[in-house]
Amino acid sequence: MSIPRNIAMALYRRFGRQRLRRIALGSIPFIVLITLWYMNGIFHWLPPVFIPTIYSVFEAIFVLQEGCAGIVEIVALDNNCLMTTNIFSSLGRVVLAMLVGLPLGIGFGILAGMNRTVSKFLEPIGIFANSISGIAWVPLAIVWFGVGWMTTLFIMLNTIFWLMFFNAMLGVRGISRTYEQSVLTLGGSSWDVITQVYLPGAMPSIISGMRMSMGFGWRALIAAEMIGGDSGLGFMIFSSAEEYKVEEVFLGVLIISMIFLLTDRYLLMPLEKWTSNRWGLVWRPA
């Protein structure tokens, strides 16, 4: 048995035939694209001002991190470690906006789902706020809060709050009234109804709302940082583009999509699957 054959057998056992085929096929376009990109670096079909070489994109990491002394400066968000500082400040904004926006959106959403009158007043406002896309709020936010943390946070909250609101509301409305009535018949208070029926029943919808608001919120954040931010990945790529440092822009774009893909694939998608298995009111035949 040769070594490649052993590796092939191990992969085969690990993934199975179908998945192995899909992984192999799916990687072909990426390999082609990367090869084209690499060959462009050698043959200069398009000048490096437009498409930087792969190596210069890799090098941009070290250019941005130049003068970074070590872990302490990275954690302290020092201006010498530009790349990590911008990554962490973007991530920090996402976490902050999620911490504020999720409870607010879920709370109001459940309230609107329980009460028709509340929802009839809040729904038109929500539809209107949602239709003014995140980036259109940026100029007004700059007037109100100036350039910086508050503006980006405001834009993200605007996106997250209404998405969570609608998802929680629709989730609560989708619960069959039987559950609510049976809890009440068994002597539960309306607080019990909220914690035992509405919250778990709306959970699958809330979690998919979380996934959506992460997707839209991340986009809105990048846009907000470009115009109204003073740090963060969006700010980084925008200011690099103004100086025509195209390799830093490419690096920034790759980091942005990687962060999004990783959080979506390894954090939110498993969470969504787990919740709908655990709490989804789906009838499964035994």
Partner 1 sequence: MRHSRHPLWKFGRFLRDANFSHFVVSVVVILVIWSITSATIDNPGRYLPSPLAVALSSVDMLYKGILPSYFADTIRRLVLGSIIGLSLGIPFGLLLGLNRTISDMFYPLLNFFQSISGIAIFPIIVIWWGNSDKTVLAIVLYTSFFPLAYTVLSGVREVPMKYIHAVRTLGATRFQVIRDVLLPGAMPSIVTGTRLSISFAWRAVIAGEMLAGREGLGWMIFTGQDADLTTQVILGMLMIGCSWIILDHYLLRPLEMDTIERWGLVQR
Amino acid at residue number 80: N
CA 83/CA 63 separation, integer angstroms: 9
CA 64/CA 67 separation, integer angstroms: 9
Is the Cβ of residue 11 or residue 253 nearer to partner 1 in the bound state? 253
Q: Supply the minimum distance, in Å, between the C-beta of residue 128 and partner 1.
A: 5
Q: Supply the minimum distance, in Å, between the C-beta of residue 188 and partner 1.
A: 31
For 170, other C-beta atoms within 10 Å of its C-beta total 16
CA 136/CA 142 separation, integer angstroms: 11
Q: Supply the minimum distance, in Å, between the C-beta of residue 1 and partner 1.
A: 29
Contact 207/273 with Cβ under 8 angstroms? no
Which residues neighbour 229 within 8 Å (Cβ) at sequence distance 6 or greater? 147, 148, 151, 152, 235
Which residues of the chain form contacts with partner 1 (CB under 8 A)?
Answer: 21-22, 25-30, 33, 49-50, 120-122, 124-125, 127-129, 131-140, 142-144, 218-219, 222-223, 226-227, 234, 237-238, 240-241, 244, 246, 249-250, 252-253, 256-257, 260-261, 264
Is the Cβ of residue 28 or residue 286 nearer to partner 1 in the bound state? 28
Is the Cβ of residue 100 or residue 147 nearer to partner 1 in the bound state? 147
Cα distances (Å, whole numbers) of residue 131 to 25, 105, 124: 39, 17, 11
Q: Supply the minimum distance, in Å, between the C-beta of residue 258 and partner 1.
A: 9
Q: Supply the minimum distance, in Å, between the C-beta of residue 135 and partner 1.
A: 5
Is the Cβ of residue 27 or residue 189 nearer to partner 1 in the bound state? 27
Is the Cβ of residue 26 or residue 285 nearer to partner 1 in the bound state? 26
Q: Which of 57, 147, 159, 45 is nearest to 101 (CA)?
A: 159
